[in-house]
Structure 1
Amino acid sequence: MIRLVRTNRAFGALAAARIVSSTGDSLSLVALVLLVAGRAGDALAVALLLLVGDFAPSLLGPLTGAVSDRFDLRRVMVASELVQGLLVLAIAFFLPPLPVLLALVGLRSVAGQVFLPASRSAMPALVSDEDLPSANALLGFGSGGEVLGPLLAAALVGVIGVPGVLLVDAGSFALSALLLLLVPRLPAAGSAGLLGSALDGLRFIRSHRVVRAIALGFCAVVACNGVDDVALVFLAHDTFGAGDAAVALLLAAVGIGLLVGYALLSSVRVPMGVLLVTGFAVSSVGNLLTGLAWAVAAAFTVQTVRGLGVAAMDVATNTLLPRLVPPAMLGRVFGNLYGAIGVAAALSYVAGSVLLDLTSAPVTLVVAGGLGTLATVATAVALRRRL
Structure 2
Amino acid sequence: MKQKFGRGYWMLLASVTVSSLGDGIRLIAMPLLAYSLTGNAVDISFIMVIAALPGLVLGPLVGVLVDRFDRRLILIAANLARAVLVLVFAAVILADAAEMWQVYAMTAALSIAELFAESATFTMVSASVPVERLEKANSRLFSARMLTQQVIGSPVAGVLFGVAMSAPFLAEGGLFLVAAVVTLFIPAGKRRLPRADAEGREDAEAARAPMTEQMREGIRIIRRTPMLSTILLSDALLNFWMLISTALMVVYAKGELGVTDTQFALMFTVAAVGSVLGGLFLPPLVRRVGVRWTMALALVVTGASRLALGLTSDPWLAIATFFTGGASYFIWDIAIASYQQRVTPNHLQGRVHATTGSFLYGAAVVAALTGGLASELIGVRAVFVIGAVAILLLSVYWVVLARRGAASVEEDAQEPNDAVSVS
Q: TM-score, normalised by structure 1?
A: 0.92
Q: Counterparts of 1:237 and 1:101 in 2: how far apart (Å)?
A: 28
Structure 1 runs (4+) deviating above 6 angstroms are none
- CA root-mean-square deviation: 2.1
Q: How does 1:306-325 map to 2 (within 5 A)?
A: 306-325=325-344
Corresponding residue pairs, total? 382
Q: Counterparts of 1:43 and 1:275 in 2: how far apart (Å)?
A: 39
Q: CA deviation at 1:336?
A: 1.4
Larger Rg: 2
Q: Which whole-Å deviations, capped at 9, do the CAs of 1:11-63 have from their partners, x for residues lacking one?
A: 11111111111110111232222222212232233223232223443332211
Does 1:234 pair with 2:251?
A: yes
Q: CA deviation at 1:188?
A: 7.1
Shifted more, 193-202 versus 119-128: the winner is 193-202
Q: Indicate conservation of the 8 Å contact 1:229/1:251, yes or no.
A: no
Q: CA deviation at 1:266?
A: 5.3
The answer for the alignment partner of 2:389 in structure 1 is 370
AA of the residue aligned to 1:225: M
**SS of residue paired to 1:126:** coil
Q: Which whole-Å deviations, capped at 9, do the CAs of 1:249-302 have from their partners, x for residues lacking one?
A: 334432221122123335653422221222222222211111122301101111
Q: Indicate conservation of the 8 Å contact 2:90/2:170, yes or no.
A: yes
Change (3 A) 1:109 1:303: same
Q: Indicate conservation of the 8 Å contact 1:232/1:250, yes or no.
A: no
Q: How does 1:132-147 map to 2 (within 5 A)?
A: 132-143=134-145, 144-147=147-150
The answer for the alignment partner of 1:150 in structure 2 is 154
**SS of residue paired to 1:226:** helix
Change (3 A) 1:379 1:235: same
Q: Counterparts of 2:168 and 2:58 in 1: how far apart (Å)?
A: 28
Q: CA deviation at 1:126?
A: 0.4
Q: Indicate conservation of the 8 Å contact 1:57/1:106, yes or no.
A: no
The answer for the alignment partner of 2:174 in structure 1 is 171
Q: CA deviation at 1:121?
A: 0.8
- What fraction of aligned residue pairs are identical, expressed as a percent? 24
Change (3 A) 1:236 1:141: same
Does 1:180 pair with 2:183?
A: yes
Does 1:207 pair with 2:224?
A: yes
**SS of residue paired to 2:127:** helix
Q: Counterparts of 1:251 and 1:347 in 2: how far apart (Å)?
A: 23
Query: Aligned to 2:260, which of 234, 239, 243?
Result: 243
Q: How does 1:1-387 map to 2 (within 5 A)?
A: 8-95=6-93, 96-143=98-145, 144-147=147-150, 148-159=152-163, 161-186=164-189, 190=203, 191=207, 192-265=209-282, 269-270=287-288, 271-382=290-401, 384-385=404-405, 387=407
Unmatched tracts of structure 1, length 5 or more? none
Q: Counterparts of 1:386 and 1:200 in 2: how far apart (Å)?
A: 28
Shifted more, 185-194 versus 254-263: the winner is 185-194
Q: Counterparts of 1:16 and 1:336 in 2: how far apart (Å)?
A: 26
Q: Counterparts of 2:311 and 2:363 in 1: how far apart (Å)?
A: 25
**SS of residue paired to 2:185:** coil
Q: Which whole-Å deviations, capped at 9, do the CAs of 1:181-230 have from their partners, x for residues lacking one?
A: 12122367653443321111122212321111111111122223322213
Q: CA deviation at 1:323?
A: 1.7
**SS of residue paired to 1:185:** coil
Change (3 A) 1:380 1:152: same
Q: Counterparts of 2:246 and 2:60 in 1: how far apart (Å)?
A: 27
Q: Which whole-Å deviations, capped at 9, do the CAs of 1:77-135 have from their partners, x for residues lacking one?
A: 11111111111111111234332342232111111011112111111210001221100
Q: Counterparts of 1:164 and 1:188 in 2: how far apart (Å)?
A: 42
Q: Indicate conservation of the 8 Å contact 1:232/1:247, yes or no.
A: no
AA of the residue aligned to 1:34: L
Shifted more, 68-77 versus 230-239: the winner is 230-239
Q: Which whole-Å deviations, capped at 9, do the CAs of 1:301-322 have from their partners, x for residues lacking one?
A: 1121011111111111111112
Q: Counterparts of 1:188 and 1:280 in 2: how far apart (Å)?
A: 39
**SS of residue paired to 2:132:** coil
Q: Counterparts of 1:35 and 1:234 in 2: how far apart (Å)?
A: 21
Q: Counterparts of 1:242 and 1:314 in 2: how far apart (Å)?
A: 28
Q: Indicate conservation of the 8 Å contact 2:292/2:406, yes or no.
A: no
Shifted more, 212-221 versus 49-58: the winner is 49-58
Shifted more, 129-138 versus 247-256: the winner is 247-256
AA of the residue aligned to 1:216: L
Q: Counterparts of 2:278 and 2:74 in 1: how far apart (Å)?
A: 30
Q: Counterparts of 1:50 and 1:254 in 2: how far apart (Å)?
A: 21
Q: TM-score, normalised by structure 2?
A: 0.84
Q: Indicate conservation of the 8 Å contact 2:37/2:99, yes or no.
A: no
